[in-house]
Structure 1
Amino acid sequence: MQQAAKSLAVISTVFAGAIFGFFYAWVCSTMWGLDTLDPRTAIAAMNAMNGSVRNAVFAPAFFGTPVVLALAALALKLAGKGSASLWFGVAAAVSLVFGTLLTMAVNVPMNEALALVDIPDDRAAAQVIWEDYSPKWQFWNQARTIASGVALLLACIGLTKIGKPA
């Protein structure tokens, strides 16, 4: 049981790192790059990326991270590693609320609304659409990135507690 709990803790930390890295890449490259483009191209590119992210590679990290963190917390608790369990449990809660649920409540609806927009031929009209979308989307992406980083940090702290008595 103890080895399975340790393995699950490591796997869940990798999941937390994967989703943090995904959100972080949007912060420090993707959105900044889109902001330099003709807004008509930026809107089309964002819609294409939002459409392509719904896939079997992304889904486990996005939906699975809070689940595997919570499973790690439970397994660690059952293995008598209460301190480590607590850190993983808090990581799971942060990941769920400020990663998954925030994304579903804010970023996804914004993406869906952008996908319904007819991209205007006029650059200035497209600029208005993009300027209404990009800063707000980036703000909320930064929030979920920070939260995902916190969840990853909490899981890493939890890993350091595994070898210690409950």
Structure 2
Amino acid sequence: MSLVKTLSISSILFCGAIFGFFYAWVCSTMWGLDQADPRIAIAAMQAMNASVRNGVFFPAFFLTPVVLAATAGVAYRSQFRSAAHWFAAAGLVYLIFGLLLTMGVNVPMNEALAKVDIPGDVEAAEIIWQDYSPSWQFWNQLRTIASGIALTFAGIGLSKV
């Protein structure tokens, strides 16, 4: 298999991994937390956010734009110019609306929530959760859509190789 094909398939895998990660938050995790006691939701979100910084998450989150850029470069040099443009577009979409959006919005929200002492009464916890969850979910949905678009663009790029 050629280097451009190998990188193209790798790009699909990286995009698919991060899209799936963000998508799972949209369609199950946050909805489930919204149904839970808000004290439990806050504690669970704090624990999940603390645990996500690991060697399994790192490649999909941080290396996806690197793999896409490498794929675009190799495709371009291999005369697959159309494919190169699609991979470059995928990388740009994910970089801006996936990685940078997460670092600029979701991570600061997570860090603020991490500093919250969980109140003993449900009403106070509900206020904290309602200040956090809807906004966090909006931004997560945006990065999920962007990651899906990046995956789609990478798929189109693969079809041009």
The verdict on a shared fold, with TM-score over 0.5 as the criterion, is yes
Q: Distance in 2 between matches of 1:152 and 1:99?
A: 12
Instruction: Give the match for residue 130 of structure 1.
Output: 129
Q: Give, in angstroms, the shift of residue 126 of structure 1.
A: 0.3
Give the Cα–Cα distance (whole angstroms) in 2 for the partners of residues 154 and 12 of structure 1: 10
**TM-score normalised by structure 2 residue count:** 0.99
Secondary structure at 1:119's aligned position in 2? coil
Aligned-residue offset at 1:138: 0.2
Q: Please, what is the CA RMSD of the aligned residues?
A: 0.8
- 1:15 alignment counterpart: 14
Distance 1:9 1:101 in 2: 23
Structure 2 unmatched runs, 5+: none
Once superposed, which parts of structure 1, at least 4 consecutive aligned residues long, lie more than 3 Å away? none
1:116 partnered with 2:115:
yes
Match of 2:35 in 1: 36
- 1:136 CA displacement: 0.2
- Residue 45 of structure 1 pairs with residue 44 of structure 2: yes
Q: What do residues 36-71 of structure 1 show as CA deviations (whole Å, max 9, x unaligned)?
A: 110000000000000010000000000010110010
Letter in 1 for 2:105: V
Q: Per-residue deviation at 1:13?
A: 1.0
Percent identity at matched positions?
Answer: 66
Q: What is the correspondence of 1:41-120 to structure 2 with a 5 Å cutoff?
A: 41-120=40-119
CA shift at 1:12, angstroms?
1.0
Q: Distance in 1 between matches of 2:50 and 2:117?
A: 16
Provide the aligned length of Structure 1 versus Structure 2.
161
Amino acid aligned to 1:52: S
In structure 1, distance between residues paired with 2:129 and 2:15: 30
**Secondary structure of the corresponding residue to residue 53 of structure 2:** coil
AA paired with 1:135? P
Distance in 2 between residues matched to 1:13 and 1:30, nearest whole Å: 24
Gap regions ≥5 residues in structure 1 = none
Offset at residue 5 of structure 1 (A): 1.2
Structure 1 CA distance for aligned equivalents of residues 104 and 130 of structure 2: 21
How far apart are the structure 1 equivalents of 2:11 and 2:152? 12
Distance 2:27 2:5 in 1: 32
The AA in structure 1 aligned to 2:67 is V
